[in-house]
Chains A and B, each alone.
Chain A
Amino acid sequence: MSLSSLLIQMISGLSEASTLFLISVGLSLIFGVTRIVNFAHGSFYMLGIYLSYTLVSRFGDTASGFWLATLLSALTVAVIGALIEMTVLRRIYHVPELFQLLATFALVLVISDATLYLWGPEELLGPRAPGLSGSISLLGHRIPQYDLVLMAIGPLILVGLYLMLNLTRWGTLIRAATQDREMVGALGINQHWLFTGVFALGCFLAGLGGALQGPRVPANLLLDIEAIGTAFVIVVIGGMGSITGAFVASLLIAQIKALCYGIGTLTFFDVVIPLNQMTLVIEFLVMAIVLVVRPWGLLGRALPPSRQAPQSEPMLTPASKGVRWFGALIALVLMMVPTFSESFPYLITLSVDMLIAVLFAASLHFIMGPGGLHSFGHAAYFGLGAYGAGLLVLMLGLPMELAMILGPLVAALGALVFGWFSVRLSGVYLAMLTLAFAQIVWSVIYQWNGFTGGSNGLIGIWPSDWLASPTAFYYLTLASVIISVLLLRFGLFAPFGFALRAGRDSALRAEAIGINVKRIQWYAFTIAGLFGGVAGTLFAFSKGSISPEVISVSRSVDGLVMVLLGGINTLSGPIAGASIFTLLHDTVMRETTYWRAVLGLAVLTLVILFPTGIVGSAQAIGERIKSHLLNRQRGGQLNGAGNAQQSGGDPR
């Protein structure tokens, strides 16, 4: 490859950088002020593209019409964003950050299905910009004129934002809120409108980024997740809340990608590395490296500690006799499932799916609840287990029984490596790093056609003959899941589980009594990975084929939904959550095309109405009834003080 073509790649990388900056800067602004990590930001970008398709197709015959239509698309996105902020986000500023992430992910699902409803599933490419459809010639290469305009827009927006933030009163308020929003509230600023305004501005920028892509990128329904992935990478690299950081990170990522495309394939000691196919891996790799070296991003700084009192988690108590009998009863019912298979042929398959989901959720809960490590990439270990077992059977011809044992170990090994880095971070950054690791695993498997089968996946992973019948495999799954869940439970009531909770409750105190918090968390992360791998291995053998979908972001999020649906502070929560989620998923999905929207709305309802999950809410109601009855017995002389309500602070 010649130097000049590399140079051209890097120049066109500049227009890519502009686009990345527009997508990510709004996310950074919104996070800085509201402390919400907005998963739906990519959806606003996608809406921008779709809207510009519609509007530009109608009004974009002239240059002025094109630009006005583009601007109008961005403004429409801003209005939609403001409406969503006022109706949904305002209600969740005080809930724990995990629920906020979940709520914004629910928005992704709803917006995605709304888009499907309005524009249909086909890809839509908008018309080109009038007057800018040509190209200029540079060093014997052609660069589209439109790209040159894009190149200029990024820096222009940066300068505009800089002036707005530094010269206007509103900008000063935004900067103040980014540093200390409680103090801004204490000074009598109406935070509601500040938050709405910032959210609308962020959505406007994302919408603009999308609308400007109208002539270059066909609008399709996968853009939201694709864009949010990249935007997260950039915001995290640049530092959450830093606008200049977002710009620097956009340039960095765009140029690294351009370099990969420019170099093409790299041969290193006879190993051919197709750099141009590995851009996704490299993006997340850069982010992982930055997070390890500079945990708050290139230009970010550590968040000031929140003044809200830390929420104290309830105690875990060993199962009472009643609960044990109930558990035994459920196990008994589960053992009888195959006897009903004649009348309900789908029942065994559904039960296997449910059991696997239960184990997946329970393993995630192990680090998320008692460990306080909010992993957003637990699918990585599910996928490593599935692919580990699959490849061992298909490539090495190992018997299924051996692969059942080695598959989870592959996952545990992955968790051992990724966990070492992850436990060094906390909060949002930990969530992003675990997500990055999952995406790295996903992209390696997705792009390594020769070994993993790429996007087609692997087929023909069947259990041994003696386990081949649905009933036999069902019992294998049942036994594995019950044993695994009990082991996890044992661990939580043993000194190890207490040490894990000690690190979550007060890392300061834990270190002051000699507990190596990071190491305990690391072990827990690996254990969670191991059991996530067991779930993945079972999954691979139950389906007979696997695809990169097993490691997708949405599987990680499914796990989170299951845990939060059931309630994070209870041990039976993830089990109930996973069962109900799978049941809903399998039944609703069959009934409607718009199952994502249904799921999204269900999650939103859950987050807003029952932030302690199903089991958590049930327990609270139980407590209330109990104290009510107790009061009656005592003749109502005492007030019901039993139900300590978790109260979050008002956002103001």
Chain B
Amino acid sequence: MSLLTVESLNKSFGGVRAVDDVSFELPKGHMMALLGPNGAGKSTCFNMLNGQLVPSSGSIRMEGEELIGKRPRDIWRLGVGRTFQIAAVFNSMSVVENVQMALFSHQRRLLRFFKPLHRYDREPALELLRLVGIEQYADKPCSTLAYGDVKRVELAIAMAHGPRLLLMDEPCAGMAPHERNGLMALTRRLVDEQGISVLFTEHSMDVVFSFADSMLVLARGKLIAAGDGNHIRHHPKVKEVYFGSGKTFEEDAREPNTGAPVSTEH
């Protein structure tokens, strides 16, 4: 059964149709990548799913519940976690406090005014940090972490309320190659072990082909192809869109340790 059902989603900015009649279904426990060259409408799609943008028309339903018209914080409460292209965390707090914020918000305990935060039980937050593998940094200020670890903090935050769906906007942007595989392998594990669904956009094709169950390809706002890696790799329209960079789709691009990351943009 599908978790997320998107039907004829449209978004126009002035005369530009940034997203043009996009429909797809995301099954439970499935990891799906949203691909496309710059300006294809990936981020617009994402921001509509997350409630930051209101679509011009269409519908986005999660297990039957319409998401359009809901604010980001309401969509989060329905069980949608999100990470951002440029990691957004609370820099004036320690790592564990960042995660505690998400937990407290989920438990609606943020308005408490008298008992200091450090007197509350931190075990649930530490549990999440263990899950993403950065428990050792729990008491470090978030602003002093390496970028790859900040991304992990973000993932822990996004996982805090036991989401059904995780939206990850370019999870590997700005990361070193060895950090990418770690993060994506971790995400893959969450999908397999906890049955959550992940939708992510990504430019580095090695990541996409290694980890995604299936892919959607957008170009100029339209959905031009959908399917698993093999299907996409040999899809004539996709080759056309990624004009001239056929190498991207060769088998050997999957090798994670080929040195220079293969990417469609610079």
- B108: min CB distance to chain A, Å: 9
Are A506 and B109 in contact, with the CB atoms below 8 A? no
The answer to whether B157 touches A493, judged by C-beta atoms less than 8 angstroms apart, is no
Q: How far is B74's CA from A508's CA once the two chains are assembled, in angstroms?
A: 14
Q: Which residue of B lies closest to A527 (CB)?
A: B113
A502 — which chain B residues lie within 8 A by C-beta?
90, 93, 101
Q: Does A511 contact B (CB under 8 A)?
A: yes
A495-B109, A498-B93, A515-B101 known; A318+B88 contact, CB < 8 A: no
Q: Does A340 contact B (CB under 8 A)?
A: no
- Asked whether, in the complex, the Cβ of B101 is within 8 Å of the Cβ of A512, the reply is no
Query: Counting chain B CB atoms within 10 Å of each CB, which of A310, A494, A504, A513 scores highest?
Result: A513
Q: A316-B92, A502-B101, A505-B91 are in contact. Are A512 and B72 (CB under 8 A)?
A: yes
Within 8 A of A (CB), among B87-113: 88-94, 97, 100-102, 104-106, 109-113
A651 within 8 A of B: no
For the complex, is A403 an interface residue (Cβ under 8 Å from B)? no
A515 contacts B110, CB within 8 Å? yes
Q: A495-B111, A513-B160 are in contact. Are A315 and B93 (CB under 8 A)?
A: yes
Contacts A494-B117, A512-B76 given; indicate if A506 touches B90 (C-beta within 8 A). Answer: yes
Q: Is the CB of A505 within 8 A of B90?
A: yes
A509 touches B90 (CB 8 A): yes
Q: Say yes or no: B90 contacts A318, CB within 8 Å.
A: no
Are A513 and B105 within 8 A (Cβ)?
yes
A520 on the B face (CB < 8 A) = yes
Is residue A516 contacting chain B, with contact meaning CB distance below 8 A? yes
Give 1 or 0 for each of A496-507: 1 = CB within 8 Å of chain B CB. Answer: 111101101110
Other-chain residue from A493, A505, A516 in contact with B116 (beta carbon distance below 8 A): A493
Tell me which of B117, B141, B143, B160 contacts A493 (CB under 8 A): B117
**Shortest Cβ distance from residue A498 to the other chain B in the assembled complex, whole angstroms:** 6
Q: How many Å lie between the Cα of A313 and that of B143 in the bound state?
A: 9
Query: Do the beta carbons of A494 and B113 come within 8 Å of each other?
Result: yes
Q: Is the CB of B266 closer than 8 A to any CB of chain A?
A: no
Chain A contributes a number of interface residues (CB within 8 A of B) equal to: 33
Q: Does B77 contact A (CB under 8 A)?
A: yes
Complex Cα gap A490–B72 (Å): 30
Contact of B94 among A310, A315, A490, A509 (CB under 8 A): A315
A304 at the interface (CB under 8 A from B): no
Chain A residue with the shortest CB-CB distance to B91: A312
Residues of B with C-beta under 8 A to A495: 104, 109-112, 115, 117, 120
CB distance from B167 to the nearest CB of A (A): 9
A357 to chain B, nearest CB (A): 24
A484 to chain B, nearest CB (A): 13
Residues of A within 8 A of B82 (CB): 512
Residues of A within 8 A of B116 (CB): 318, 490, 493-494
Contact indicator B72/A511 (Cβ below 8 Å)? yes
Asked whether A496 and B91 contact (CB < 8 A) given A318-B116, A515-B101, the answer is: no
Chain B residues with CB under 8 A of A510: 90, 101
B101 touches A490 (CB 8 A): no
Task: Kindly state the interface size class of chain B when it binds its partner.
Answer: 35 or more
Please state if A312 and B77 are interface contacts (CB–CB under 8 Å). no
Closest chain-B Cβ to A362's Cβ sits at a distance in Å of: 16
Contacts of A313 in B (CB 8 A): 91-92
Chain B 163-179 near chain A by CB (<8 Å), digits 1 or 0 = 00000000000000000
A502 to B73, CA, bound (A): 14
Does B92 lie within 8 Å of A312, measured CB to CB? Answer: yes
State whether A509 touches B157 (Cβ < 8 A).
Answer: yes
User: What's the Cα separation between A190 and B87 when bound, in Å?
Assistant: 34
Question: What are the residues of chain B within 8 A of A640 when measuring CB–CB?
Answer: none
Known A-B contacts A312-B143, A513-B102; A496 and B110 likewise in contact (beta carbons under 8 Å): yes
Q: Is the CB of A496 within 8 A of B160?
A: no
| A229–chain B nearest beta-carbon distance, Å | 34
B139 nearest in chain A by CB position:
A315
- In A288-325, the 8 Å CB interface with B consists of 310, 312-316, 318
A513 contacts B115, C-beta separation under 8 Å: no
The answer to whether B118 and A493 have CB atoms under 8 Å apart is yes
Please give, as numbers and ranges, the residues of chain B lying within 8 Å of A644 by CB-CB distance. 144
Q: Which residue of chain A has its CB nearest to the CB of B94? A: A315
Does B242 have its Cβ within 8 Å of any Cβ on chain A? Answer: no
Residues of A close to B117: CB separation below 8 A: 493-495, 497-498
Closest to B115 in A: A494
Q: Is B137 an interface residue (CB 8 A)?
A: no
- Decide yes or no whether A491 CB sits under 8 A from chain B: yes
CB-based nearest B residue for A509: B88
A514 pairs with B106, CB closer than 8 A: yes
B84 at the interface (CB under 8 A from A): yes
Q: Compute how far the CA of A448 lies from the CA of B172 in the bound complex, rounded to whole angstroms.
A: 62
Query: How far does the alpha carbon of A514 sit from the alpha carbon of B97 in the complex, in Å?
Result: 16
**A316 and B118 alpha carbons, distance in the complex (Å):** 12
Whole-angstrom distance between the Cβ of B3 and the nearest chain A Cβ: 19
Chain B nearest Cβ from A430, distance in angstroms? 20
Query: Nearest chain-A residue to B73 (Cβ)?
Result: A514
A514 touches B76 (CB 8 A): yes
Judge whether A496 and B92 touch: CB under 8 Å.
no
Set of chain A residues within 8 Å of B143, measured between Cβ atoms:
312
B13 CB-CB contact with A under 8 Å: no
Kindly list chain A residues whose C-beta atoms are within 8 Å of the C-beta of B104: 495, 498-499
Interchain CB contact (< 8 A) of A509 among B84, B118, B141: B84
Closest A residue to B77 using CB positions: A514
Q: How far is the CA of A514 from the CA of B104 in the complex (A)?
A: 10
Chain A residues contacting B100 (CB-CB under 8 Å) are 498
B141 touches A315 (CB 8 A): yes
CA distance A419 to B110 in the complex (A): 20
Chain B nearest CB, measured from A436 CB (Å): 28
Which B17-74 residues have C-beta < 8 A from chain A?
50, 71-74
Q: How far is the CB of B89 from chain A (nearest CB, A)?
A: 6
Q: Which of B73, B93, B110 has the most CB of A within 10 A?
A: B110
Asked if A513 contacts B84 (CB within 8 A), the reply is no
Complex CA–CA separation, A318 to B71 (angstroms): 34
**Does A53 make an interface contact (CB < 8 A)?**
no
- Which of B50, B73, B97 has the largest number of chain A CB atoms within 10 A? B73
Asked if A523 is at the interface of the complex by the 8 Å CB criterion, the answer is yes
Tell whether B114 is near chain A: CB-to-CB under 8 Å. yes
Q: Which residues of B contact A316 (CB under 8 A)?
A: 92
Q: Give the residue among A315, A497, A499, A514 with the most B Cβ atoms within 10 A.
A: A514
- Chain B min CB distance to A242 (Å): 22
Cβ distance B129 to chain A, nearest Cβ, rounded Å? 16
* Assembled-state Cα–Cα distance A493/B143 (Å): 19
| Residue numbers in B under 8 Å from A499 (CB-CB) | 101, 104-105, 110-111
How far apart sit A502 and B118, CA to CA, in the bound complex (Å)? Answer: 16
Roughly how many angstroms separate A318 CA and B74 CA in the complex, as a whole number? 33
Query: Quick check: B90 and A501 within 8 Å, CB to CB?
Result: yes
> Closest residue of chain B to A314, judged by CB?
B92
Contact of B93 among A494, A496, A501 (CB under 8 A): A501
Give chain A residues whose Cβ lies under 8 Å from the Cβ of B154. 509
Query: Which residues of chain A have C-beta atoms less than 8 A from B114's C-beta?
Result: 490-491, 494
A-side contacts of B89, CB under 8 Å: 505-506, 509
Q: Which of A491, A504, A512, A516 contacts B113 (CB 8 A)?
A: A491
A505-B93, A515-B73, A520-B110 given; name 14 further pairs at CB < 8 Å.
Answer: A314-B141, A494-B117, A499-B105, A501-B92, A505-B89, A505-B90, A508-B88, A510-B90, A510-B101, A511-B72, A512-B50, A513-B73, A513-B106, A514-B73
User: What are 27 A-B pairs at a CB distance below 8 A?
Assistant: A310-B91, A312-B91, A312-B92, A315-B93, A318-B116, A494-B112, A494-B115, A494-B117, A495-B111, A496-B111, A496-B112, A496-B113, A498-B101, A499-B101, A501-B93, A505-B91, A509-B90, A511-B73, A512-B50, A513-B76, A513-B102, A513-B106, A513-B157, A514-B73, A514-B76, A514-B105, A515-B110
Q: Which 4 A-B pairs rank lowest in CB-CB distance, beginning with the nearest?
A: A312-B91, A509-B88, A505-B90, A493-B116
